[in-house]
Amino acid sequence: MSKKAVLKSVEQPADTLIIGAGFGGLGAAIRLQQQGVKNIVILERADDVGGTWRDNNYPGAACDIPSNLYSYSFAQNPDWSRAYSGSREILGYVQHLVQEFGLRPLIRFGSNVASLTFQEEQGLWEVNTDKGEVYTARSVISAAGGLANASFPKITGIESFEGHKIHSARWDHDYDFTGKRVAVIGTGASGVQIIPELVKVAKTVKVFQRTPGWVMPRPDYASPDWSKTLFQKMPAAQTAVRQALFWGHESMALSLIWNTPMTALVERVSRAHLHHQVKDPWLRRQLTPNFRIGCKRVLASSDYYPALQKENCKLITWPIATISPKGIRTAEGIEHQVDCIVFATGFDVCKAGTPFPITGLKGRVLAEEWKGGAQAFKSMNVSGYPNLYFILGPNSGPGHNSALVYMEAQIGYAVQGISTLLKGGYRYLDVMPEVQQRFNRAIQKRLGRTNWNSGCKSWYLTEDGFNATMYPGFATQYARMLQRFDPSHFGRVPV
């Protein structure tokens, strides 16, 4: 039975309902408040803020983008302890945002959104949670996060394993690895951070690699005290450092997004890193990627290759055949007996669906429309689903720069759209279908020329190779595209 949600500080309908209290949702709440939109509610399914940085707290978890760039430009932190901060410190930054901008009263924890339905007559979104609460709102920002649901691989026998199973995004901090025989499946961004930490404590670590990735060195260092003092006293100095980091990353688009002479150069740097750190030619061969750099996410680590060569660590490149009660059996018939399997196997990404059912105008169901691949206008709005904004929506993914730069642009755009709705006296704003189609035709054409579509298999692509994940351009272009919300792209229905 559904009950009307009890809202202490928010009137119904809310001006904006935000789904998710991670970086995106909290950033949106801050910017909306600064623009005078105060009647906001944030629904968060967990019992704390932080999203990906709350969930990904495995040993070694850190960001592979420098902290001075992986933070909001409107809330810079002069006190980052390292160039590349760990997940705990990033979570601390998120918690600080909540404190500093007084967001806690807006958040309803333990509220897992079960469905969104647009009520055309009233121009309201009805939002149901799985506890039976019902919220209504003029606009909704979905900041639920693309990498929120941990994914265990479909390997025969996985259920039969009698030892301990841990997923990288749901770490079991009570499990003591000391003296244990451990297997790690997966050598993506999470795997290369976990493995160096596990080899320090476990008796043995067997790393099951399916595809070797491109690895670049990660120039991490502890922030000197003088830089913290300088950034505290002169925020402009930190802004300048941020700008330098931004343009440094921006230039990487030329090698990672498209196949240019820079691509071969960056591949050479990565190969030199491998050559420098791995002396054994056979191991080097096993670790050499066989796809173009940029096609999958480039890995950043200076301690992954050394960890693989520790006496207690072994790289296994035979394909996994089954998981048995005692361990992992590979295709050549060997059973590797272990006490624990760590799954660094990534996430269930909703490329062709939505995290919850979304029903728009005239009963349209978004998951049906996205079956063949998700698409939106400028990654933010979908025709037929008015007053709804996606943070990190279709084709907004960065491969070379900070996700927060993209998110900040998305938030600015959503805030403009929501202000236009509220101030313009509209019931709803619905992006025109032909505008959305034109936009997506151009995006898909551009994607065809990128490294992501150059033949490797990655979580960016659907099973049949459709790329609904990445933005085929510079971060600067993406931000410019979202700089101005243009009402002429939208059908505007008055109250």
Residues that bind ligand N01 in the complex, under the rule CB under 6 A: 63-64, 147, 153, 155, 168, 185-191, 208, 210-211, 297, 320, 344-346, 459
Q: How far is the CB of 17 from ligand N01 (least distance, A)?
A: 27
Closer CB to ligand N01, 190 or 410, in the complex:
190
Closer CB to ligand N01, 153 or 448, in the complex:
153
Q: How far is the CB of 127 from ligand N01 (least distance, A)?
A: 27
Name the helix (H) or strand (E) containing 225.
helix 225-233
Contacts of 245 (CB under 8 A, 6+ apart): 66, 68, 69
Closer CB to ligand N01, 42 or 61, in the complex:
61
Q: How far is the CB of 104 from ligand N01 (least distance, A)?
A: 26
Q: How far is the CB of 92 from ligand N01 (least distance, A)?
A: 16
Here the tokens at position 232 are 């505290």
HSE (side-chain half, CA atoms, 13 Å) at 285: 3
Are 305 and 292 in contact, with CB atoms under 8 Å apart?
no
Phi then psi for residue 484, to 5 deg, are -125, 125
Pick from 222, 236, 218: which is nearest to 79 by CA? Answer: 222
Closer CB to ligand N01, 137 or 155, in the complex:
155
Closer CB to ligand N01, 426 or 459, in the complex:
459
Question: Crossing angle of helices 235-256/225-233, nearest 10°?
Answer: 110
Q: How far is the CB of 96 from ligand N01 (least distance, A)?
A: 19
3-state secondary structure of 272: helix
Closer CB to ligand N01, 43 or 256, in the complex:
256
Closer CB to ligand N01, 101 or 452, in the complex:
452
Q: How far is the CB of 389 from ligand N01 (least distance, A)?
A: 22
Q: What is the DSSP letter of 362?
A: G
Q: Are strands 124-129 and 113-119 parallel, antiparallel or unpaired?
A: antiparallel
Q: How far is the CB of 210 from ligand N01 (least distance, A)?
A: 3
Closer CB to ligand N01, 187 or 440, in the complex:
187
- Concatenating the DSSP letter of every residue in 363-430 gives G-BHHHHTTT----BTTTBBTTBTTEEETT-TT-B-SSS-HHHHHHHHHHHHHHHHHHHHHHTEEEEE
Closer CB to ligand N01, 103 or 320, in the complex:
320
Are 494 and 427 in contact, with CB atoms under 8 Å apart?
yes
Closer CB to ligand N01, 64 or 335, in the complex:
64
The alpha carbon of residue 408 and the mean position of all alpha carbons in its chain are separated, in whole angstroms, by 14
Question: What whole-number distance in Å separates Cα of residue 490 and Cα of residue 113?
Answer: 27
Contacts of 239 (CB under 8 A, 6+ apart): 73, 76
Q: How far is the CB of 91 from ligand N01 (least distance, A)?
A: 13
Question: What whole-number distance in Å separates Cα of residue 43 and Cα of residue 240?
Answer: 35
Question: What whole-number distance in Å separates Cα of residue 81 and Cα of residue 68?
Answer: 11
Does the N-terminal peptide bond of residue 289 adopt cis geometry, omega within 30 degrees of 0? no
Bridge partner residues of 323 (DSSP): 328
Q: How far is the CB of 391 from ligand N01 (least distance, A)?
A: 15
Q: How far is the CB of 48 from ligand N01 (least distance, A)?
A: 19
The alpha carbon of residue 376 and the mean position of all alpha carbons in its chain are separated, in whole angstroms, by 18
